Structure 1
Amino acid sequence: MSRKFPGVRAVFPTTLLLALTLANGTANAADFPITSSQRSTAQQVSQAGVPLSELAADAPDSYTVKKGDTLWDISKLFLKSPWRWPELWGMNLDQIRNPHLIYPGQVLFLDKSNGRARLSVGRPLQGNGQGGDGKLSPRIREELLDNSAIASVPMHLIGPFLNEAVVFDDDRLAVAPRIVATQEGRVLLSRGETAYVRGDVSAARTWQVFRSPKPLIDPGTGEVLGYEARHVGTAELKTVGSESEAAVVPSTFTVSQLREEANVGDRLAPLPPSEQDAFAPHPPGQNIAGRIISVYGDGLNAGQNQIVALNKGKRDGLERGHVLALWRSGTVRPDLTAPDRQLMTLPDERHGMLFVFRVFERVSYALILQVQAPVQGGDRFTQP
């Protein structure tokens, strides 16, 4: 049943989407976490909207959400500061009850009236739309909603690192199970091949394979903050070996997945549960400052969409989803206008943005969302 209302756009019922999703068991509210501070910010904005001065210079009047969009992308489209997404959400709190439940095909409309900006969500009307008439009626999606909702950030970039980027508090891999032999005596292993392992493998069936870990050293204090284990792949336990004074029989593994060829001497650790919970960009609740320890992998410099290790972690108040500002140290230059060419240090310049996605006690990993110059170990970051 539907009715015609002149001059009204057909608004897609986001609240109905959430209700249907939860009723069918395809999602859980806990999968889309929203902090009390984010909700509070959204509620404040919903009362009055956002000042026009906070909008991006080229903010569009409307935008159709596309597959592959992220909450970060859309926030950046409308606001000067993408990490202020709760304000974007608060621009239409009645329709967008949960910002994680926004879907491809929905249309976001920007209303700029009385010096304030507000956002509404809807769908384009079918037909010629003359006179603005349209039918208001609920629509039900056929696909699973938790698979079609847009992500907060580019999950395809950080997804693999949610389990693979591992920091150990100590050098425990030195005594972890190790690959001691391969099929036919080869040194390198490929996917599907057999690896023979010595050590206690009773803790799990699926194991991660790591190269020798490297210490992560704080650029400022020289403290060893942890040991970064370089992920090689995964292996499945097939048979458990045995050791006695009479004979040593290694355990048998099959290599199931590889990022690079595994070697004799590589170490094993149990594969932890997957961390795929939804999380969204937000600034830290307190001032924070630190330095980049290193670029993940073998690189000396990093650019956009690469991973870096930070010298701050849980003990410092960092958490998943934090957005941080990257700073470039001011260069030293002579004053060409002075007779003595006195050296001067130019001010530090903010030149990029980080997104924290994995946090350990003293170390974190972050994705470089945007940057103007190469990033390297020792570079500084702060709250945005």
Structure 2
Amino acid sequence: MRSRWFRLAAARTRAPMLAAAALLAVCGSAQAVDLTITPGQRSTAQQVAQTGVPLSELAPNAPDSHTVQRGDTLWDISKLFLKSPWRWPELWGMNLEQIRNPHLIYPGQVLVLVKVDGRATLRLAQPDPAGTPPTNTVKLSPRIRSELLDNGAIASIPLHLIVPFLNEAIVMDADELADAPRIVAAQEGRVMLSRGETAYVRGDLKGARDFRLFRESRPLKDPGTEELLGYEAAFVGTAEYTRPGELRPAEGGKVVEVPASFRITGVRQEAGIGDRLAPVPQRDYSAYAPHAPTAPMAGQIVSIYGEALTAGQNQIVALNRGTRDGLERGHVLALWRNGPLTADRTDGRKVAIKLPDERIGLLFVFRVFDRVSYALILTAIDPVSRGDRFTQP
């Protein structure tokens, strides 16, 4: 049974602040995925556990309090209070000693902004039944609580935007699908297959029963160097094993192969003869805590996920950096449009110039491979294209 483990890092009990890293973990088994706190996050939390955030870092219209609403995310709430939402650890702090014993934030809870000596912190207050402004705060102690999918706790970011891509967007170091099991025929001679129809498959299934379907993979190349970064396979759908294949005796002492049978259980696009099968991995929707890279980071967009030439807010892009470059899940990146080359003709001469690069949005990294990552476009004021670059925010 699928389950969600909502994790929220509680404030150190000696510090006057709430820690609210509403971290979501979903996995296919009953075990939760461990949350790794980065050295940068830990260092930040240590620095601000006693001091809070400078008032200059607050958003211009930061409210004195906020009642958590259904549909809120940690990102939404951070935007209310901070100029830079990814800097949430500086406002909320983290429980460094009991990081795996988190609290949860639920709709109806009231967050109070406290300003003292030029610094700001957040506290969790209990709403007054009569509707008067909250005046009391609650001192939190570490505890752990896990709930099912519908427990109502808020998530870090709008997870519904990335969940469909977590096991669909894959990058392989080599063209591994070339030798994967493949659809060789369809029921009643069909060429294309929809949900509920039967496909016949040849290849080594290695004991798996649930599979993803992919079309022929395509190489991903670095926009700047043309280095081969990996192979991206286009997701087609899902299929379920229903009947094993076998070898049957035929006339003349020969043996004929009978392919395994599969039922198409879901489609993003119609499945077809030649589509490849890959086992469904253990689902990993773990711990998406927005944070900035702790070291300088720069790279380019390799491609727009899907067939589009440009992308906008809430779409997915592939980046030419991965784990080997220090990129990690949860990183927030600034998105830049390269300034175009043009000419200055104002003084009667033609002088070549390059206009400044312009920051056009933010990216949120949610899937990381060795040399490639996938990111959600959080904001974009202009269309995003292959070759646009990113840096630390």
Bucket of the pairwise TM-score, normalised by the shorter protein: 0.7 to 0.9
Aligned position for 2:53: 50
**Size of the alignment, in residue pairs?**
357
Q: Distance in 2 between matches of 1:246 and 1:256?
A: 31
SS of the residue aligned with 1:163?
Answer: coil
Amino acid across the alignment from 2:226: G
> Which residue matches 2:195?
191
Deviation (angstroms), 1:50: 1.3
Evaluate the alpha carbon distance shift between residue 143 and residue 284 of structure 1 in structure 2; reply closer, same or farther with a 3 A threshold: closer
Partner of 2:257: 248
TM-score by length of 2: 0.83
Asked if residue 236 in structure 1 is aligned to residue 245 in structure 2, the reply is no
**Alignment partner, residue 6 of structure 1:** none
Q: Of 165, 171, 174, which aligns to 2:169? A: 165
Instruction: Give the alignment partner of residue 314 of structure 2, picking from 305, 311, 324.
Output: 305
Give the match's secondary structure for 2:91.
Answer: helix
Q: Is the 8 A contact 2:237 2:271 kept in 1?
A: yes
Bigger mean CA offset, 353-362 vs 236-245: 236-245
Deviation at 1:198, TM superposition (A): 1.1
Distance 2:135 2:310 in 1: 56
| Cα RMSD for the two superposed structures | 3.1
Which of the pair is proportionally richer in helix?
Answer: 1
Is the Cα–Cα contact under 8 Å of residues 206 and 234 in structure 1 kept in the other structure? yes
Amino acid at match of 2:243: T
> How many Å separate the matches in 2 of 1:266 and 1:136?
56
User: What residue ranges of structure 1 are gaps of 5+ in the alignment?
Assistant: 1-12, 19-26
Residue in 2 that maps onto 1:316: 325
Query: Aligned residue for 2:336?
Result: 327
Structure 1 residues 134 and 101: CA distance shift in structure 2, 3 A? closer
The Cα shift of 1:207 comes to 0.8
1:101 matched to 2:104: yes
Answer yes or no: is the 8 Å Cα contact 1:92–1:120 preserved in 2.
no
User: By how many angstroms is 1:145 displaced?
Assistant: 7.4
Query: 1:352 is matched by which residue type in structure 2?
Result: G
Q: Please name the residue that 2:127 is paired with.
A: 124
**In 1, distance between residues paired with 2:135 and 2:64?**
20
Instruction: Give, in angstroms, the shift of residue 295 of structure 1.
Output: 0.3
Measure how far apart 1:32 and its partner are: 5.1
Structure-to-structure mapping, 1:1-384, within 5 angstroms: 33-90=36-93, 101-127=104-130, 129=132, 144=147, 147-243=151-247, 246-384=255-393
Pair 171,111 (structure 1): closer, same or farther in 2 beyond 3 Å: same
Q: Which amino acid aligns with 2:335?
A: L
**CA–CA separation in structure 1 for the residues paired with 2:102 and 2:390:** 27
* Structure 2 letter corresponding to 1:314: T
Pair 1:162–1:188, CA change in 2 (3 A): same
Q: CA deviation at 1:275?
A: 0.8
Cα distance change of structure 1 residues 243 and 28 upon mapping to structure 2, 3 Å threshold: closer
User: For residues 209-243 of structure 1, what are the alpha-carbon distances to aligned partners after superposition, in whole Å with 9 as ceiling and x for unaligned?
Assistant: 00111110111111111111111111111122135
Name the aligned partner's letter for residue 177 of structure 1. Answer: P
Report if the CA contact (8 A) 1:211-1:232 is conserved. yes
Report how far residue 56 of structure 1 moved: 0.8
CA contact (8 A) 1:91 1:118 kept: no
Measured after TM superposition, the shift of residue 34 of structure 1 is 3.5
Cα offset for 1:143? 10
1:24-57: CA deviation from partner (whole Å, max 9, x where unpaired): xxx9996555334323312322322211111111
Give the secondary-structure state (helix, strand or coil) at the position aligned to 1:286: coil
Give the SS at the match of 2:107.
Answer: coil
Amino acid at match of 1:252: S
Counterpart in the other structure of 1:4? none
Separation (CA, whole Å) in 1 of partners of 2:73 and 2:131: 30
